[in-house]
Amino acid sequence: MTGEILKFLREKEYISGEVLACKLNVSRVAVWKQIQKLKDMGYKITSDQNLGYCLVSRPDLLLPQEIQKGLSTNYIGKEIYYFPELKSTNIIAKEKALHRAEGIDEGTLIIAERQSAGKGRLGREWFSPVGGTWLSIILYPQLSPSYISRITLMTAVAAVKAIKVCTQIESQIKWPNDILINEKKVCGILTEMSAELDIINWVVVGIGINVNVDRRDFPEDIQENTISLKEASGKEVLRVKLVQTFLQEFEKYYEILKRREFSSVLKEWKLYSHTLGKKIRVDIGGRIIKGEAVDINEEGALILKKEDGELVEIISGTIV
Ligand code: BTN
C-alpha cells in the first residue's frame, strides 16, 4: 500500500488522509500507519490539519518504487527484491534463479544498500559499503554457454554509458570487466552461470559501482586503486537515476546480444577500451603471459601478441 500512497502524494501538493483512505478503500488509521512507515523509510512527509499530507523529499535509497517510477524497460527491473543489507546480491540472485518456474522471471533484480560479503572475481572479496550500487540481474538467455564473456563485455558497455549520462564522466573498460576512471577502479562485474552442454539454465550478472562512497572507507590496500563517482565528479550522484539509466542501457544491449549482433556491441566496447594497444601481463590461472593487447574477437576473447609475434587468444584471465 505504501507504493500507492506514494503515487497519490506525488500527484498533488497536499492530499488529505480522508481522500487517501477513500481512494484506497481503507481506514484513516491504516493510511496514518502507512505514512509512518514511509517516514521510517526516509521519506519526509509533513501534515497540515486542514490540507492533509505533503511529500517534501524522498530518501536516497534504491527502493523498488523509486527505481520503477519512470523506468522505461520492458522486463529488466520489472521485479525488484530490495535489501537494506545482505551478504551478496549474486548469492540471492542465484538462489532465486533456481525458482524460475515459480515466477522468477528474466530481468528480476536483486539490489542492496550494503553487502556484508560482496563477491568479486576469482573468489575475491568485494567491499560494498552504504552509498554504492550493488545489484544483480537474473537472465535466462537462449544462447550457448560460450556467450558468457560477451554478456560481461556488454554489461561493461552499458555501465560506461550510464556513468556518462548521469555524470558526464568518460570511463574506460579494462578487459574483461573493470570500469576505470583515471586508472582507478570505479565498477566491477561478476557474471555467474549455470549451464549444461549447450544450453544456459540461468545467468546472474552482478555489478558493483562505487557511487557516493568515500575511498577512505575502503580497506587501505585497495584505497590507492579505487575511486568513486562522487570523488571523480566532485558531487553526489543520484543513484536512482544511475540505476534506471544502467537498466535501460543493459536491456538495449542485451536485446542486441540475443539477436546475435554482438559485433555492434564490440565496436562500442573497443571505443571505451583501456586495454587495447597496451603492453600487458595476463594471469591465466597462475600462468603469466606477456604481450600487446591487439584485439578482442567476436567471442569476447582478448588477443595478445607475444614478443615473438605469436597471437594468443585469452577467454578468461586477469590483467596484472
Ligand atoms: C570484480 O571486479 O571482481 C567483480 C565485482 C562484482 C561486485 C558485484 S556487487 C553486486 C554483485 N554482488 C556481489 O556479491 N558481487 C557483485
Gyration radius from the chain CA atoms: 22
Cis check for the bond before 84: say yes or no (omega within 30 of 0): no
Of 127, 134, 137, the one to substitute when testing ligand 1's pocket (max ligand atoms within 8 A of C-beta) is 134
Residue 188 CA to ligand 1 center (angstroms) comes to 6
Q: Are strands 109-115 and 80-86 parallel, antiparallel or unpaired?
A: parallel
Please check the confidence at residue 4 and state whether its pLDDT lies above 80. yes
Residue 41: φ, ψ to 5°:
-75, -10
SS3 (DSSP) at 136: strand
- What integer pLDDT is reported at residue 285 of this predicted model? 86
The residue type found at 13 is E
Residue 307: φ, ψ to 5°:
-60, -30
Of 109, 190, 227, the one to substitute when testing ligand 1's pocket (max ligand atoms within 8 A of C-beta) is 190
Q: Which residues pair with 289 in a beta bridge?
A: 282
**61-88 exposure pattern, b = at least 16 Cβ within 10 A, e = fewer:** bbbbbbbbeebebeebbebbbbbeebeb
Residue 29 CA to ligand 1 center (angstroms) comes to 43
Q: Environment class of residue 293 by beta-carbon count within 10 Å: exposed (0-12), middle (13-18) or buried (19+)?
A: buried
Please check the confidence at residue 215 and state whether its pLDDT lies above 90. no
Distance CA 92, CA 94 (A): 5
pTM of the entire predicted model:
0.90
User: Which ligand 1 atom minimizes the distance to the CA of 120?
Assistant: 3
Of 94, 124, 128, 239, the one to substitute when testing ligand 1's pocket (max ligand atoms within 8 A of C-beta) is 128
Residue 320 CA to ligand 1 center (angstroms) comes to 19
Three cell numbers, residue 66: 523509486
Q: What number is the average pLDDT over the span 282-300?
A: 92
Distance CA 4, CA 288 (A): 56
Q: How many percent of the chain have pLDDT more than 70? A: 100
Q: What number is the average pLDDT over the span 217-223?
A: 87
- List pLDDT tens digits, range 306-317: 999 999 999 888
Q: Determine which residue's CA is closest to atom 2 belonging to ligand 1.
A: 188
- List pLDDT tens digits, range 250-265: 999 999 999 999 999 9
Name the DSSP letter for residue 235: S
Q: Determine which residue's CA is closest to atom 3 belonging to ligand 1.
A: 120
Among 228, 187, 230, 234, residue whose Cα is nearest residue 207: 187
Q: What number is the average pLDDT over the span 124-134?
A: 95
Please check the confidence at residue 197 and state whether its pLDDT lies above 90. no
Residue 247 CA to ligand 1 center (angstroms) comes to 16
Q: What number is the average pLDDT over the span 176-183?
A: 94
Three cell numbers, residue 55: 511529500
Name the DSSP letter for residue 314: E
User: Which ligand 1 atom minimizes the distance to the CA of 187?
Assistant: 2
**CA 192-193-197 angle, 5° bins:** 150
Q: Environment class of residue 252 by beta-carbon count within 10 Å: exposed (0-12), middle (13-18) or buried (19+)?
A: middle
- List pLDDT tens digits, range 67-94: 998 899 999 999 999 999 999 999 999 9
Distance CA 317, CA 284 (A): 5
- What integer pLDDT is reported at residue 170 of this predicted model? 97
Q: Which protein residues touch ligand 1 with a CB less than 6 Å away?
A: 88-90, 115, 118-121, 124, 126, 128, 134-136, 177-178, 188-190, 206-208
